[in-house]
Structure 1
Amino acid sequence: MDNNGDAIRGQVRLVGFERLSHGLYQPTRPGLSADQAFLRDLRALMLILPTDAAFTHVTGARVLRWQLPNLPDNVPVFAAVRGDRRPRRHGLIASRLTLPSEVAVVDGLPIDSAEEILLRAARDLGVIDLVILLDSALRLGHVDPTRLGVLETSGRPGSVRLRRAHSLADGRAESAGETVLRIFHEVMDVPVEPQASIYDHDGHLIGVVDLLVTGMDRAHEYDGAGHRERRQHTVDLRRERGWSNSPYTRSGYTLDDLLNHPIVVMHELDRLLGRPHSLRRIQRWRTMIDESLYGERGRARVMNRWRRIVGVVEWSGTA
C-alpha cells in the first residue's frame, strides 16, 4: 500500500478510516474546519494523480482563496494532467494539459496558473460566476494581463466567455455580492465607482462605500451575511451615523433583491436618474442570471455537465 501523509492507497478495513475514493482511504479527523478538510482531501488525492498534475478550475481557485460564486455543495475536484494518464475516479475531473503552464505550490499543493484556472472555469460557468473569480484574482494580484489576453484570443474552449467576463471585471471588489451588485448596475447602464471614499462637509473621511453612483451623492452597497454579523453591524451603524453631516444617501441591496426582485431595483435606479424604464435591460440581466450558478437553469446545466463527466453523484444535499 502507498501512503501520502496519513492517506493510504489500497484496501483498508479498519475502524477510524474513511473512504475518500476508490482504493483511497484516510483516518477520520473530527474537528477540522471545512477548509482544513478540503486541503487534506486534496493532499490525499495526490496519491492517485500523476506527479505532474495540478489542481485547476474552482478547485485551484479555492486553494488560492479567491471569492467563489454560488457553487453547489458537492463540487468535483478538478485537476490538469500532462500525457495520456488521466485517473478516473468518482468526484474527480482530470483534463489534459496540452500547452506549457506555470504551476505554483500553495499549501503544499500544485496549483495551475491563475489564467488557466480562469479559462478552464469558463468552459462551465456563466459570465457572472467568472467575473466573481476574476475580480478576486485581480484584487490579489494573481493575474498576468498579458497571459490572460493571449488565452482570451486563443480560440480554446471558454476563451470567448472569459474575454466577455474580463470586460466586466474590476479588482476593487471585496466580495462576490459586491461583484454581482456592480454587474447589475453595469447592465442597467448606471455608471458607478467601486470602493469610493466619501467625506463629510468638514472634509473628514466617513468611509469607503461599495459603489458610488457617478456624479451623484448616492452610495449603493451590498448587504450580505457579513453585514448582519454583530461586529460588522456595529461598524456599519457607527459609519452611517457619520453620514448625518454629509450630502450622501446610502441604499443597501441584498442578493434576494437582485435575483428575485430586479424590476423593483431597476425602477428605483430609473427614478433616481429620471429616465424611462427599459425592458431590454431587465431581459439582459435575467439572461445573465439564467446562465449562471445563481439561476436554476444555469445551476442545473452545470450540475448535469459535471454529473455526466464524473458519473453518479449524490446531489441531494445541494442548495
Structure 2
Amino acid sequence: MKWRMPDKRKMKAEPSRPKAIIFNCHVKTSDFRRFASCVIEAVRVPSSLALTRWQGPDRASGTSQDIDAAISSLPDTVEAAGDGPVYLEFDTKGSMIGSIKFRPRTEDGPFSSANLRWVPEQRDTVQAMVAFQHRCLSLCMELLREFVVYSAELRPEAAKALCVPEVPLVSGNSHIAVTNLAEAAELYDNPDAFWNAGWEIAEEQNEQRLLARDMDVLGGPEYLERIIDHQWAMARAAKPGETIYDTPDVHPEEAKTFNRGEPRLQSVGYSENEQLLEYSCVLEKGEHVQGWEVYALLAIIQQGRSAEGWPVKTVRIVFLEQWMAEEEKRPLLDIGCHVWHYDGDGELKEIVE
C-alpha cells in the first residue's frame, strides 16, 4: 500500500529558530504576594532581562523602580484578593515578556500562575535562547521548593516537532513536565514507560517531580529526532483515550525523521461489501508499528476513504500473536482501528480496550 498523509498537511519551509519559547507554571497557593516576589526576583537576576515596565489592574504603567512596592501590595490571602482581577504584566529590555496571575476562587482552590515568553529578535543567539530555557527550568525548580507546583510546560512555538502524539502529563512537545507517581499510575497502563521516556528528574519535593528533557535544543529536526521515539513509547503505554492524535504538521526538514523505518503493516485486502480495509502485522521483539503508519491510518479513518479512493468504515489490524497486539494496541485503538490477533489455537480474537 502507498502510505500518504492527508492533503491538508502543511509543508511550509520555516526557519528552525522558534517563533517564541513559552513557559507556563501553575502552583497551588493563596499567597500571591510571595509567589509574585519569587517570580520577579528570578526574572530580574540577569541584567540583560532587567524589567523596564509593568502594569496591573490598578496601574496602567509602572517602572522597575516601583515594582517592589507593587508586589508588597499584592494579596497574600484569598480574602485580601477581593473580587477583581489580580495580575502583573511586565516587559524587559531583552526579548522576554511575562505575566503572573492569581485565581483565588476556583473549584480546586486558589492557584497562581506564571507565564514567560521569549520572542526572539534577529540579534538573539541560539545560546541566549537556550540560556532562557535553562532559566525557566531553574525558576520552576525554585517554585517547586517553595510551593505545590501541579503543572508546567516549556515549549517552542512554531518551531516544528509538531508531528508527535500529545501524551498524558506532557503538554505537546514540552521540554518539562511536573507530576508524581500517583498521576502516572492513573494515566498510564505502564507507568515505567513514561518515567523512562528520556526524562531526567530535575527536582523532587513532596512527591512532586519536575522532569526535563533535551534542554540544549530549541526545536526543529534535532528536537524531533530526540523525542519522537519517546513520544510513541509513552503513547503505547498510556491508558485508553488519554493521548491526543492531531493531524501532524510535518515540515520538509523533518520528513526524514518522521517517515523513517520500514513499514510493519502489510495490506491484506479490501471488502467492498463491508467497506473494510485489513492489514496484517508480524513483529520481532523491540519492533513497533511506525508512527507514520499510525498517522496514515488516522487519515484514512478521518476521511473515510483509502489512498486508492475506496470508501472505508472499518480498519482492521491482525497481529500474528497476542503479545504483538497487546504492545501495539493503544495508539491503534485510540484512533479508531479494530485490533485482532491469532491465539494459540489459530483462532482470531479481538482486543477492544
Class of the TM-score when normalised by the shorter of the 2 chains: under 0.3
How does the TM-score come out when normalised to structure 2?
0.26
How does the TM-score come out when normalised to structure 1?
0.27
**Structure that is richer in helix per residue:** 1
